[in-house]
């Protein structure tokens, strides 16, 4: 697991997403040649399968530390990620290699790029009502506390904060923060909870066409650096750690 963030969560993952304006032509020869080229750099990427949504997924087997790379192609996007990377540098290198190869193999160009994202995900295992935990942690004080403490309220069944911020005057660079619950109303009703991850997602997004001459690799590197800064100085201390402490305090 990434030494930078492994101490703060049960699983940490990094993903890169390149969204396109035109659909990819996923022809057999094109896809295989692209995947083979990536596999030469990362030989453990040897499992290829077609998902139910018709996207194509190339992935590794999970190692003893829970680390695994994956690369996915669908009609409108290129996606890749690294679960529990040994370092942020290793996760970024994977993204840089794939984004360097993709335009050549998949015939991509500036006109086709819609936006690029770098996503950091923090998973915290918790057997209980995720939504109640989130509400108690972040909304037990302040104006919303009166809603949570109303005598007619039995349980919180949906509490998934989502916040988007612009990091530039043109709004071309954005950051999104999301807390994702996986508790169902059936679990709340029965009191029988599965052990599932409560996730915190940090997404750095760059829309294309606002900066002349910028390359995919430059944009990816800048977004990765900003994501690391936001994760270390804001997301972990303000979101991840409070949730981890709340989970640890529950019976």
Interval 20-75: pLDDT, tens: 999 988 788 999 999 999 999 999 999 999 988 889 999 999 888 889 999 999 98
Query: How far from 8 is each of 127, 136, 148, 218, CA to CA, in Å?
Result: 18, 20, 28, 29
Q: Per-residue confidence at 1, pLDDT binned at 50, 70, 90?
A: very low
Interval 166-175: pLDDT, tens: 999 999 999 9
CA contacts within 13 A on the Cβ side of 131: 15
Q: What is the mean pLDDT of residues 98-116?
A: 94
Q: Per-residue confidence at 2, pLDDT binned at 50, 70, 90?
A: very low
- All structural domains of the chain: 6-249 (3.30.160.110)
Interval 64-89: pLDDT, tens: 888 999 999 998 999 999 999 999 99
| Range with lowest mean pLDDT among 7-21, 75-89, 204-218 | 204-218
CA 211 to chain centre: 25
| Range with lowest mean pLDDT among 81-85, 99-103, 197-201, 213-217 | 213-217
Task: Please list the alpha-helical segments (H only) found in the chain.
Answer: 28-41, 88-106, 130-139, 145-148, 185-190, 216-230, 241-249
User: What is the SS3 assignment for 112?
Assistant: helix
Report the predicted TM-score, pTM, of the whole model to 2 decimal places: 0.94
Q: What is the mean pLDDT of residues 224-243?
A: 96
CA–CA–CA angle 80, 23, 27 (5° rounding):
80
Q: What is the mean pLDDT of residues 98-127?
A: 95
CA contacts within 13 A on the Cβ side of 171: 2
DSSP character at residue 238: I
């Amino acid at each position: 697991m990434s030494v930078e963030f492994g101490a703060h969560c049960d699983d940490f993952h990094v993903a890169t997403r390149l969204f396109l304006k035109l659909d990819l032509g996923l022809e057999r020869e094109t896809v295989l040649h692209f995947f083979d080229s990536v596999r030469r750099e990362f030989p453990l990427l040897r499992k290829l399968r077609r998902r139910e949504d018709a996207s194509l997924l190339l992935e590794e087997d999970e190692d003893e530390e829970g680390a695994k790379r994956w690369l996915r192609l669908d009609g409108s996007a290129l996606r890749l990620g690294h679960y529990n990377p040994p370092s942020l540098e290793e996760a970024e290198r994977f993204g840089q290699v794939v984004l360097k190869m993709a335009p050549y193999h998949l015939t991509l160009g500036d006109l086709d790029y819609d936006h690029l994202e770098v996503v950091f995900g923090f998973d915290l295992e918790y057997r209980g009502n995720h939504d109640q935990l989130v509400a108690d942690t972040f909304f037990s004080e302040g104006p919303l506390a009166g809603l949570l403490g109303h005598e007619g309220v039995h349980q919180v069944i949906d509490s998934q904060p989502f916040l988007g911020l612009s990091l530039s005057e043109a709004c071309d660079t954005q950051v999104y923060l999301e807390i994702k619950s996986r508790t169902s109303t059936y679990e709340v009703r029965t009191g029988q909870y599965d052990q599932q991850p409560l996730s915190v997602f940090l997404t750095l997004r760059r829309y294309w066409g606002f900066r002349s001459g910028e390359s995919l690799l430059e944009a990816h590197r800048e977004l990765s650096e900003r994501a690391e800064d936001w994760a270390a100085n804001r997301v972990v201390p303000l979101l991840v750690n409070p949730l981890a402490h709340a989970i640890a305090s529950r019976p």
